[in-house]
Structure 1
Amino acid sequence: MEGIGLGTAAIGRPVYINIRHEKPGEVLSVPEFRKRGLAILDDAYRNGVRFFDTSPGYGLAESLLMEWLRGKDDPRIRVATKWGLSYAANFDRHAKVHEIKEHTLERLDAQWAFSEKLLPYLTTYQIHSATLETGVLDNRDILQRLHHIKKEHNIRIGLTTTGANQVEVLKKAVDIMVEDEPLFGSFQSTYNIMEQSLLQMKEIFAQTNTQLIIKESLANGRLMPGLPSKEHNGLYRYITTLAEQYNVGADAIGIRFCLDSFPGALVLSGASSSDQLHSNLEAKTFKLHEDELEMLGSYKIEPATYWDRRKQLPWQ
């Protein structure tokens, strides 16, 4: 499947930061939730998906993926997971705290002890939501430990970024050396029609053997037409026009924009149902023309504005 992987946040916990465009589904018990998650993993695999991204911060996602992988014998499957975020909501949809960030050596060691069970499918191990504020990129003990994991298991070390200064974090990370070699070989960042700051890194990524993973390609639902926002009416009309032209959903337009902006990158589907997954995967059936890419690109907004509005999105 061309450049499309499955992010497992939506199948590992019952709520996440987004705008819903469909009626809320029924409240499932934990066993029912697990069963549905396994079905979506099966569906993704049947449809050619071979890259899966997970995290301890995604509730059941890591253990769900481990259970699913026990029935597989396919060396093409690649898994990325993370450390630094813990799930705290305990399946309570109304919890005040859903996740806790802790970028300490103790947390790294504790989460790695579980995550390493994803081997041999585990190919990428990432710092979850690395920021300048936590100091994780200056912590030599953590960087040395990650380097040890990299060498012992022959896997990529990466990080994910979130926030208006994600490019600043990336620029710092690409220069980090441990034992005379770059530590990081994978970067997972937000990129979509509205938030295009990642383009500043395109040439740097092209010059290195870097794995780029794009998340939030649909801007947590904000790219989907139907929102009562006059500000983005022009964008919504154009996305709708393209969707009709290519006979796909608006979500496929958003994902295709990312695939065509960064050829060779992995773009994550965050599907929480098979219908969403199939609609997302339609992005592989066409390519946008240069003028269409330029027109979509013209709808970008300032990163500070984008991230300020993202902070206001509910957990649902």
Structure 2
Amino acid sequence: MPFARLATATTPTCHIGLGLAAVGRPGYINLGREHDLGEDRSVEALRTRSHALLDAAYAQGVRYVDVARSYGRSEEFLADWLNAHPEIDDIVVGSKWGYTYTAGWSTDAERHEVKDHGLATFERQRAESAGLLGDRLDLYQIHSITPDSPALGDKKLHAALAEAAAQGLTIGFSTSGPAQADAIRAALEVTVEGRPLFRTVQSTYNALETSAAPALAEAHDAGLTVIVKEAMANGRLAEPYAPDALRAVAAETSLGCDAVALALVLREPWAGVVLSGAATTVQLASNLHAAVVDLDDDQLARLAGLVEEPRAYWERRGQLPWH
């Protein structure tokens, strides 16, 4: 598995990855984008921003980068950067298929992405990803399965995914919604010729939404690499939006709310990679301080009080505007 490369890395930040969801397209649901990105969200402006983030992340020890077909031009931006740095051979690249970007580089489109987990979509998007990333693509994930996803029972799709795995691609899945734990457990049961199909799982887990933790621990124990997304709760755990308890703990550590929020996730024994969704190099530098945050029992107890009921959390997330 490509993640074996991370197991041998020695930098403090090797278990923090960089996700390009926030900078691969002009519109997203993260809070604070009007400040982070400003008015110029042209293709070239976001390409330049993405490359600056990749430069900074690599220089500071980050070795996993996460993109997706639905993240606008994120795959293209990453491919351009990789092609400009042929000497870099220790980056692990993950992408996702199953959503199609439909916003046409607009922030006010009626629909920003369309979900389809069918075999035809996999074949089309696999070719698109391969055309951009070629053999630099290590991990291909089904994007945001839920317990009722047809991808969980589609034997023809499973066979196609297994064939891709036989050709050297690592196959994984990501989850979303209040029933993430059910989706994870269902995916762990998917086999092809008696062998588990999936080798990684990427799920939302943060100080507000912890419901997937037991299932993620089970996935880890089954040998899957766990990738954590939305550790910042789409900006709700960053200043100036962070809740008071998080602000207080951050003040005690003399670091940012973002570093504490990410550190809370990094301390989980099953968390293989925790994604930073930074939109600026300043944010990235602050995020990476998470690797040195040490939280005591009292601080952990206070942060535990932030947990929300899963359906309430996902309902609020669903109300965040694309902007």
- Would you call these one fold, judging by a TM-score over 0.5? yes
- Report 1:118-137 matches (<5 A): 118-137=133-152
Q: Among residues 22, 42, 48, which one is paired with 1:35 in the alignment?
A: 48
Aligned Cα RMSD in Å?
Answer: 1.7
Query: Within the alignment, does 1:158 sit opposite 2:165 as a pair?
Result: no
Give TM-score scaled by structure 1 length.
0.92
Residue 30 of structure 1 and its aligned partner are, at CA, apart by 1.6
Aligned to 2:128: 114
How far off is 1:35 after superposition? 1.7
For 2:193 and 2:210, locate their aligned partners in 1 and report how far apart those are by CA, in whole Å.
33
Give the conservation status (yes or no) of the 8 Å contact 2:259–2:293: no
1:233-272 correspondence to structure 2 within 5 Å = 236-272=243-279
Deviation at 1:263?
A: 5.0
TM-score by length of 2: 0.90
Q: Indicate how the Cα distance of structure 1 residues 175 and 263 shifts in structure 2: closer, same or farther if over 3 A, else same.
A: closer
How far, CA to CA, are the matches of 1:134 and 1:171 in structure 2? 13
Instruction: Give 5+ residue unaligned stretches, structure 1.
Output: 228-234
SS in 1 for 2:187: helix
Give the residue type in structure 1 aligned to 2:19. G
Aligned to 2:193, which of 179, 193, 213? 179
Identity %: 38
- How far, CA to CA, are the matches of 2:216 and 2:41 in structure 1? 42
The AA in structure 1 aligned to 2:69 is P
Code of the aligned partner of 2:262: I
Alignment of 1:16-95 (within 5 A): 16-20=28-32, 23=35, 25-70=38-83, 71-95=85-109
Distance in 1 between the 2:14 and 2:67 partners? 20
Q: 1:22 to 1:294 in 2, by over 3 A?
A: farther
1:143 maps to 158
Provide, for residues 223-261 of structure 1, a one-character-per-residue CA deviation record: whole Å limited to 9, x for no partner.
23544xxxxxxx822212221222211011110000012
**Pairing partner for 1:212 from 192, 204, 226:** 226
Is the 1:40–1:274 contact (alpha carbons within 8 Å) kept by the matching residues of 2?
A: yes
CA-CA distance at 1:178 after TM superposition: 0.5
Who is 2:7 aligned against?
A: none
Tell me the SS of whatever aligns to 1:75: coil
Q: Tell me whether 1:193 sits opposite 2:207 in the alignment.
A: yes
Distance 2:230 2:213 in 1: 15
Aligned partner of residue 79 in structure 1, secondary structure: strand
Moved more, 11-20 or 199-208: 199-208
2: CA distance, partners of 1:158 / 1:97:
26
Q: SS of 1:293's equivalent?
A: helix
Aligned length: 308
2:27 counterpart of 1:15: yes
What is the alpha-carbon distance in structure 1 between the residues aligned to residue 118 and residue 211 of structure 2?
28
Partner-residue secondary structure (3-state), 2:167: helix
Provide the residue aligned with 1:232 in structure 2.
none
Show the counterpart of 1:276.
283
Q: What residue number does 2:116 align with?
A: 102
Question: What whole-Å deviation, never above 9, does each CA across 1:95-125 have from its counterpart, x for those lacking one?
Answer: 1111111111111011111222424332211
Distance 1:263 1:187, change over 3 A: closer
Q: Which residue pairs with 2:322 in the alignment?
A: 315
Give per-residue Cα distances to partners, 1:50-98, cap 9 Å, x unaligned.
1000001000100111111112333321001111111111111111111
> Does the aligned pair in 1 maintain the 2:216–2:270 contact within 8 Å?
no
Q: Answer whether contact 1:194 1:299 (CA < 8 A) is retained.
A: yes
Once the two structures are TM-superposed, the CA of residue 179 in structure 1 deviates from its matched residue by 1.1
Verify the 8 A CA contact 2:102 2:112 in the aligned structure 1: yes
Q: Secondary structure at the match of 2:265?
A: helix
* 1:262 to 1:22, Cα distance in 2 relative to 1, 3 A: farther
Q: Which moved more, 1:272-281 or 1:116-125?
A: 116-125
Distance 2:223 2:134 in 1: 22
Matched to 1:74, the amino acid is I
Amino acid at match of 2:135: P
| Partners of 1:108 and 1:174 in 2: CA distance | 20
Asked if structure 1 preserves the Cα contact closer than 8 Å seen for 2:259 and 2:288, the reply is yes
Contact 1:260 1:288 in 2 (8 A): no
Match of 2:8 in 1: none
Paired AA for residue 107 in structure 1: T
